Structure 1
Amino acid sequence: MHAPLKRRKTLIVLKGYPRLSETFIAQELLGLERAGFDLTLISMRKPTDKKRHPIHDEIKARVVYLPEYLHDEPLRVLRALVACWKKPNFKPLIKRFWADLRRDVSRNRFRRLGQALVLAHEWPDCAEWLHAHFIHTPASVTAYTSIMTGVPWTCSAHAKDIWTSPDWELTDKLESARWSVTCTRSGFEHMRQLTNRKDRVHLSYHGLDLARFGQFDTLRSRRDGSSRSDPVQILSVGRAVPKKGYDILLHALALLPANLNWRFTHIGGGDELAKLKPLADKLAIADKITWKGALAQQEVLEHYRSADLFALACRVAADGDRDGLPNVLVEASSQNLVCVSTNISGIPELLTGGENGFVVPPEDPRLLAVALEHAIRQPDLRHRLGQAAEARVRAHFDHNSSIRQLTRLFESEWQKA
């Protein structure tokens, strides 16, 4: 009988921790801990959210914060530089750094090098493996640290990090990582095109912790927009950033017929709120909108259960930023709440228009308004599509399958050693 494979102490490099908008990462970290992984979290910046989800308190891993800006902790950075200067791997690291800098001259490159030197010098908890969440800046720190320490690394890529990174940089990282995973087929296919090591790129949906999003068995309302005293409740959850398309959604809401009674609730923070609220005033719909700000996961769940439909007008932003498969669509669908969204990135991997949701092209307020009106006026259709969406989530988006896949990938590498 074979002895169980020893799990290696693993450093998980994150851009920030904890973050309300990254419950999918917290969910994965907790899943890996429960699967027996020994983790230490390395955060490149300190938290900015005033709240935290209950899941963050369940994660036991120690958190180490790197200097967010090198000038904030100059002695810490200097000690790391002096300690690493004469080590044999310092020259290969600087060679890689200069190659990157020549192609992208920016202060950001120096920050990532400094953070990597600090991590390599301090080397928390005698770690034996490195894993980056996001293939842009966290992977830069991780790749540099791997060169300096000789410790192998792996990577989870998501959405913005893939589509806003230059191809040359993605290729370099995909070639040096032992393996990479990503959460949408479009991202998976793009990454595979950029590397000769195609067998090292894997598709892994985040899925949902269905224990936290149990079945909602209460009958949903039959609101159809005809009652002024009991309007249809439209919900959206997401940071107010360009890729979420909230300006498009507001324009669509303004196009709804005047005799249709609705209320819109937005949950989430984001810099664009300062523009969206005046836009709602300009469109004469501000009195129908409630801006809730960021909420904890349990509060968000209650809103899923009290709403009549969920809307998210995702788009490709001017800088190429886009969602992969927004976790909020999976969450809403798990509560048999019908979703109205767009056909970009990984969304069609969850939603099929007319089968389990409403899907329209991005950047089109008129078609979005048509879909919203159909969903508002037809409660029976909402219920049917919402139930079909829930069935798809519970059959194909259970996060336990992702944890099992990640476990196999890690163990396949550790068995080679």
Structure 2
Amino acid sequence: MQHRKIVVVLKGYPRLSETFIAQELLGLERAGLELAIVALRRPTDGKRHPVHDEIRAPVHYLPEYLHQEPLRVARSLLACLPRAGFWRALRSLAADLPRDFTRNRVRRFGQALVLAAEWPADAGWLHAHFVHTPASVTRYASLLRGLPWTCSAHAKDIWTSADWDLADKLSSARWTVTCTKTGFEHLKMLANGSSPVHLSYHGLDLDRFGSFSEARRERDGSLAEEPVIVLSVGRAVEKKGYDILLNALALLPAGLAWRFEHIGGGEELDRLKALAKKLGIADRVSWKGALAQEEVLEHYRRSDIFALACRITANGDRDGLPNVLVEAASQRLACVSTDVSGVPELLSPEETGLLVPPEDPVALAKALERLIRDPALRGRLGEAAEHTVRHHFDHVSSIDQLKELFEREWQAAE
């Protein structure tokens, strides 16, 4: 293959909640791969992480809604019509529409037309991050351009997509990687041998999350002036289970001294603030909003406990292995979460963290009370969790794996 530049298709870029993707892009660049970033929507966050400023790849934005840029879409359609790939892509759309008769499906085809017509110079490969809408655009674009494509699947994109859609994409992609064992087993079953599926943990850039060597205060919740700090980082959305966490905090004994700090934006923030007030704990809760990575790191280091009440929502949405858990563990922070999806792949009960069932505020309150009252337990769990992260979740190994997968394909093509 003459051109090894990879077009990476993302839903939005940059995003504070997707640091793991930016970290991967930077790692691939440093490993010698040339990238071009294509995003389906422009950024909405007011801040950005330092890692975004280190990525050299140019960023190209497709029209988020086709009606907003009709001339651009029309020009792209005219440019693609003479291509043999146009009719292959159109047949694929015709097969998909009866099973997903939505405007969204047509929008993804239109975005693929724009991507194919405005193709980055010298690019010869497509890679989608997320197997739902970015992969739909990528798959159509690969047909339009006659180029191979690959995919990184994560969490929500797997569990909220129809099996037929996933199976079609898996069969047409050269390979797919995913970041949890549960996701891997599900995709491998759907692929049914049609194309390879690989397990690849995102890992953490341990240069950015260096060891925290300072001793934490041995607070045990007995002094009102020395409350134990419970931290959580994540978007205020249903699958994060913040309503469960707030209810658990409200169940803690009245005399126990604690404070809860939340970092992140999200559509449910107002509802959660109202719930905290209703539960009578609003004066113990601080809502920090979205923060940059270096600010988040400081909060990990001055907190005592990290809590995340992950759940599976009615439509199947769930976390994979939340990157914030890996970040918190890297700072010797004792973690409590639920036994959902990939969380047990990091947190082994009573060894590297505490796990409770989802949707169970009583069990979560008991786990939190144990950690609040027992600084020695927090220290033991935090040290073991950090050891696990630094030995098994270094992002260098995932970058090496991805680089090897790309290079194996290029060597085969040559």
Q: Give the TM-score band, short-chain normalised.
A: over 0.9
The 1:209/1:198 distance shift into structure 2, 3 A limit, reads farther
Pairs within 5 Å for 1:3-402: 8-197=4-193, 200-402=196-398
Identical aligned residues as a percent = 68
Contact 2:174 2:195 in 1 (8 A): no
- Cα displacement (A) at 1:197: 2.3
Contact 1:192 1:198 in 2 (8 A): no
Corresponding position: 1:404 with 2:367:
no
Contact 1:7 1:37 in 2 (8 A): no
Cα separation, 1, equivalents of 2:85 and 2:33: 28
Cα separation, 2, equivalents of 1:332 and 1:193: 32
- Cα displacement (A) at 1:126: 2.6
SS at match of 1:12: strand
Q: Which stretch of the first structure deviates more once superposed, 37-46 or 84-93?
A: 84-93
SS at match of 2:372: helix
Listed one character per residue, the Cα deviations across residues 276-329 of structure 1 (whole Å, up to 9, x for unaligned) are 000000000000000000000000000000000000000001111100000000
Contact 1:336 1:386 in 2 (8 A): yes
Cα separation, 1, equivalents of 2:194 and 2:361: 39
Aligned pair count reads 413
- Cα displacement (A) at 1:196: 2.4
Cα separation, 2, equivalents of 1:48 and 1:397: 29
- Cα displacement (A) at 1:78: 0.2
Counterpart of 1:320, as a letter, is G
Contact 2:3 2:124 in 1 (8 A): no
Listed one character per residue, the Cα deviations across residues 66-93 of structure 1 (whole Å, up to 9, x for unaligned) are 0000011110000011111232121111
TM-score under structure 2 length normalisation? 0.99
Cα separation, 2, equivalents of 1:52 and 1:333: 23
Listed one character per residue, the Cα deviations across residues 367-404 of structure 1 (whole Å, up to 9, x for unaligned) are 00000000000000100010000000000000000000
Counterpart of 2:63, as a letter, is P
Contact 2:115 2:141 in 1 (8 A): yes
Counterpart of 2:256, as a letter, is L
Cα separation, 1, equivalents of 2:352 and 2:124: 44
Contact 2:170 2:195 in 1 (8 A): no
SS at match of 1:235: strand
SS at match of 2:152: strand
Counterpart of 2:215, as a letter, is L
Cα separation, 1, equivalents of 2:194 and 2:333: 37
Contact 1:265 1:291 in 2 (8 A): yes
CA RMSD for the aligned pairs? 1.0
SS at match of 1:131: strand
Cα separation, 1, equivalents of 2:20 and 2:103: 30
The 1:100/1:199 distance shift into structure 2, 3 A limit, reads closer
Counterpart of 1:350, as a letter, is L
Cα separation, 1, equivalents of 2:277 and 2:144: 54
